[in-house]
Structure 1
Amino acid sequence: MEALTDLKAILHSKRANIYYLEHCRVMQKDGRVLYLTESKKQNFYWNIPIANTTVIMLGTGTSITQAAMRMLASAGVLVGFCGGGGTPLFAGAEIEWLTPQSEYRPTEYVQGWLSFWFDEAKRLEVAKSLQLQRVTYLRQVWAKDRDLQQMGFNAADAGLERALNAYESASGGSQKVGDLLMYEATLTKKLYQYAAQTCRVQDFNRNHDNVDLPNQFLSHGNYLAYGLAACTLWTLGIPHGFAVMHGKTRRGALVFDIADLVKDAIVLPMAFVCAAENATEQEFRQQVLQKFTEHKALDFMFDVVKQTSLQAAWGTSS
C-alpha cells in the first residue's frame, strides 16, 4: 500500500483536475481513492488522481467513506457536497467546502492580507485592484482564445472596449464599495448582452432560478470557479470571511471576490457558446475546465492573491 507521504507533490496552483460526481460512492481501496458506479450487471471502479486534484464536488446520490476523506485531506483536496449539476453547494467546514485540516500552511499571506483589511480605505483600493486585474485577464483570454474568436468574440470590438474602458475608469474613481458593486453589475449586464448577441441566444435574462441552458451553465460554471478560488485561499491560509467587495451579507464572500477574477473571461462566454451548441452539462463542464487549464486560471488566482497579500501598502489610512 502506498504511504500517504509517498504521494507526488504537485503545487495546488498547477493541479489540473476538478471532479463533479453523482450517483456513486467514493472510497479508499488499495491505497487509492476511487469512485464506484453500480449497474445491474456489473460495478465499475474509477481512480481519482488525488495528487493532481484541487476540488471534488459530490452531487446527487453520492456518499464518501471516512478512509477516502482521510486520503483526500492528506493530499489537500477540497470536498463539497452540492445539488444536481454542481449547484448549489451545501454545508461544509469552511463556508461550503470540507477543507483539509492542515496547520502547516504559510502565514505570510494571511498576515499580509490582514495588514490592510481592517482599514476601509485600503480595502477599497484592493477591491479596485482586483477589478482592474479581472478586466486585464478578460482582454488577454479573449484576445488569444481561438475557439471564442471563431464564435465571434472579439476583444477589440468597439462596443466591448468602450464598456471595459468605462468600467476601469468608473472603478478607479469609486469612493465606496457600493459604487464598485453597482459598476460591476452594469458591466456584467453588458457582457451578457454582448455574449447573447454574439452567440445568437434570444431573450436571455439572467435568473438563477431559470432552467434555460445559458442560466444553468452560468450557475454551474460559477461554482467551478468558486472551487478554484476556495482552493487558492485555503492553500495560502487566508480565511474566506475577509472579503473586499462581497462581504456585507456572506461570511465566505472572499471566495466570490477571487472567483470573479476569471468568471467573466471564461465561464460567461463558454456558457453562451455551449448553450448555442445545445451542449450537455457534462460537455459544458469539460470545456470550462479545459479553458481553466488552457488559460492558467488557477495560476492567475494564486498570483493575484499572493501579490495582493504581500503589497507593502494599500491606499492611505483613513
Structure 2
Amino acid sequence: MEDLSPTDLKTILHSKRANMYYLEHCRVMQKDGRVLYLTEAKHENQYFNIPIANTTVLMLGNGTSITQAAMRMLAQAGVLVGFCGGGGTPLHMACDVEWFTPQSEYRPTEYLHGWLQLWFDDTKRLDAAKKFQNARIQYLEKVWKKDRELKTEGFDFNHDAIQNALNTFRKRTEEASKQSELLLTEAQLTKVLYKYAANNTDIADFTRQHQSTDKANDFLNHGNYLAYGLAASCLWVLGIPHGFAVMHGKTRRGALVFDVADLIKDALVLPWAFVCAKENATEQEFRQQVLQAFTDHKALDYMFDTVKQIALQTYSDEHIEANNL
C-alpha cells in the first residue's frame, strides 16, 4: 500500500466531522488501506470499517488493542486516540484521559501566538476566562430554546429558577477579580442546574458524585468525557497546548481541555444525563443520544469558533499575514 499524505485524509474540516467512536473488547487494525475493528463473535469474527477521514476522536475502552499500522493511518487523518476505562470513563482517579495527539509540524501558529499573548497577562487571562463563562451561557440559551426534545422533557430556559441563577451568575462573573471567584460562581450555577434537572426528571435526593454508581452520575461522567474528546480535538487542530488553561489553574495537566468542554456540558450533557437516567436507558443509548445532540447543535463548531475568537482577540492582522507568507 502506498503511503498517504496527511492532506489526503483531511478534506473534511475537523469542526465538520460527524463521528466519535468508543470501542471495547475489540482489536483495531489496518487492512487494505482502511482502519477496521475486529470483534470476536460466537461463530465468526466480524470486521467493521472506521471512516477515519470523518472522525474526530477514537476512545479505546476495556479489552482493546491497536496495531502500529492503524495508529499511523489515524495520525495521518488527524484523529485523536485515547485509552480509557469502561464506558469512556478512566479507570484511575476518574479525572483524566491520556490522549495520543497526531504529530504534525504544519498546524497553524497564529492561534498559539495569540493565546500566549493573553495567557501571560493576568488581566487578559481573566478576561478570557470570563468570555468562556459567558459563551457557555449563550450556548445553553441557544440549545435549550431550540431543542424540541428538551422542551418536551421540561427543560425551559425561561424558567424562573434558571433565570434567577443566570442573573446572579452574570453579575458575579462580571465582578470577579480572580479565577477562583469564577470557579465558585460556576459551581453555584451548576448546582442549581443539577437541582433543576433532578426535579424535572423526578430523580430524588440527587448528589453529584464522580465515583457514584447511580445512572445519573454515571451518565454525567460518561458524557463529560465525550465532551473532553471534542475539546482535545479542537485544541490539537488549532495547535494550542492543553496546559494553557484560563479557568482550571496553571498546574493541572490538560486543564484547557476542561475549560473548552465546559462550553457545551451544561447545555447538552447535563440534561440528557438526567433524561436518560429517568428512562433507565443503557449506556449505549445514552452515548448515542449525546453524540447525536453534539452533531445536531454543532458542538464542535461552537468550540472552534469560541477558542479562535478568544485566541485572536489580541493578535493583529499583521501577525497573521506575516505567518502566511
Shift of 1:294: 0.3
Letter in 1 for 2:204: Q
Q: Find the partner of 1:192 among 191, 194, 198.
A: 194
Alignment of 1:145-184 (within 5 A): 145-184=147-186
Over residues 133-180 of structure 1, what are the superposed CA-to-partner deviations in whole Å (9 max), with x where a residue is unaligned? Answer: 100100110001011000000011111111012101110110111111
Number of residues of Structure 1 aligned to a counterpart in Structure 2: 311
Asked if the contact 1:80–1:89 (Cα under 8 Å) also holds between the matched residues in 2, the reply is no
Q: Which residue matches 1:58?
A: 60
Q: Which residue matches 1:215?
A: 217
Asked if the contact 1:229–1:256 (Cα under 8 Å) also holds between the matched residues in 2, the reply is yes
Q: Find the partner of 1:260 among 236, 259, 262.
A: 262
Alignment of 1:164-313 (within 5 A): 164-312=166-314
Matched, 1:81 2:63: no
Shift of 1:88: 1.4
Partners of 2:249 and 2:134 in 1: CA distance: 19
Q: Which residue matches 1:131?
A: 133
Asked if the contact 1:89–1:96 (Cα under 8 Å) also holds between the matched residues in 2, the reply is no
Q: Find the partner of 1:99 among 88, 98, 101.
A: 101
Unaligned runs of 5+ in 1: 314-318
Asked if the contact 2:10–2:77 (Cα under 8 Å) also holds between the matched residues in 1, the reply is no
Letter in 2 for 1:119: D
Letter in 2 for 1:281: E
Partners of 1:66 and 1:240 in 2: CA distance: 25
Asked if the contact 1:56–1:80 (Cα under 8 Å) also holds between the matched residues in 2, the reply is yes
Shift of 1:237: 0.2
Over residues 209-253 of structure 1, what are the superposed CA-to-partner deviations in whole Å (9 max), with x where a residue is unaligned? Answer: 110000000000000000000000000000000000102441210
- Larger displacement relative to structure 2 (212-221 or 241-250): 241-250
Over residues 268-288 of structure 1, what are the superposed CA-to-partner deviations in whole Å (9 max), with x where a residue is unaligned? Answer: 000001001100000000000
Q: Which residue matches 1:19?
A: 21
Shift of 1:39: 2.0
Asked if the contact 2:9–2:76 (Cα under 8 Å) also holds between the matched residues in 1, the reply is no
Percent identity among equivalent residues? Answer: 69
TM-score (norm 2): 0.93
Partners of 1:201 and 1:173 in 2: CA distance: 34
Unaligned runs of 5+ in 2: 316-325
Asked if the contact 1:142–1:148 (Cα under 8 Å) also holds between the matched residues in 2, the reply is yes
Over residues 69-120 of structure 1, what are the superposed CA-to-partner deviations in whole Å (9 max), with x where a residue is unaligned? Answer: 0000000000000000101177xxx972000010100000000000110011
Asked if the contact 1:95–1:252 (Cα under 8 Å) also holds between the matched residues in 2, the reply is no
Over residues 258-308 of structure 1, what are the superposed CA-to-partner deviations in whole Å (9 max), with x where a residue is unaligned? Answer: 000000000000000100110000000000000000000000000000000
Asked if the contact 1:142–1:153 (Cα under 8 Å) also holds between the matched residues in 2, the reply is yes
Partners of 1:246 and 1:63 in 2: CA distance: 32
